[in-house]
Amino acid sequence: MAVRILIVDDEDAIRVGFREYAEFLGFEVTEARDGMEAVALSRANDYDIIVMDVMMPQMDGFTAVKEIKRTKDIPVLMLSARGEEYDKLFGFEVGIDDYVTKPFSPKEVIARINVIVARHATRSAQVDGLDHEIYRVRGLVVDMTARLVTIDGSPVNLTPKEYDLLFFLVKNQNIALSREKLMAKVWGYDFGGDDRTVDTHIKTLRANLGDYKDCVVTLRGVGYRFEDRF
């Protein structure tokens, strides 16, 4: 079955050019001209991935991603003419999976799409398994198979990358993990970010863990470690 892509950009040339290239390679592509149209299409249809521009009329890409994530777990590759680190970090905080700065190569975007879709498919397949991989620290429950985190029975809302980061830390509990190791395993070897990306996500993850934030321990000059401190 062909991978279904929703390309969202207010520039006709970018949408059409990408669509022609992707369809030539066998992908199924739908176009949207702004964030509002993207939200409506995502509610009515299922897509394997969304390629989303940031700066658009009526509704920007960041807002559109947040709205889509309320109802659908669709991976997102963000496009932007701006390459500032703040934009990239904010994008990851709202739940995107990767970020490409314009002008971009369609070949590179397709390569990134293949990686993201394969990773998401693996994650979904794990959820379908019969046995749940669950870790508990008193009231903190981390269900890696269901991708669910609860504290005292109440769900904790994390971004996709915060889930991935927490799960990797928990699976390697009591092991010192360098920032470079976390970048490679959670974001992928081809991710172009730096150590501050990890630090920013650790900060927001701790804030979401509330009373259990101290389970994520900072190792000065090294990285981080997850341990049961209760």
Q: Which CATH class is domain 134-226?
A: mainly alpha
Phi, psi of 6 (to 5 degrees): -110, 115
pLDDT digits (tens, 9 = 90+) for 167-198: 999 999 999 999 999 988 888 755 555 668 88
pLDDT digits (tens, 9 = 90+) for 121-164: 665 555 455 456 788 888 888 988 888 899 988 889 888 889 99
Residue 111: C-alpha distances to residues 22, 77, 108, 179, 226 (Å): 11, 11, 5, 25, 33
Say if residue 207's pLDDT is above 70.
yes
**At CA 103, angle to CA 73 and CA 28, rounded to 5?**
45
* Separation CA 8–CA 214 (nearest Å): 40
CA 196 to chain centre: 17
Element (H, E) at 125: helix 106-127
Q: Are 87 and 62 in contact (CB under 8 A)?
A: no
Which regions of the chain carry the CATH code 3.40.50.2300?
4-127
Q: Are 187 and 200 in contact (CB under 8 A)?
A: no
Which regions of the chain carry the CATH code 1.10.10.10?
134-226
Which one is the CATH code of 4-127: 3.30.1330.20, 3.40.50.2300, 3.40.640.10, 3.90.45.10? 3.40.50.2300
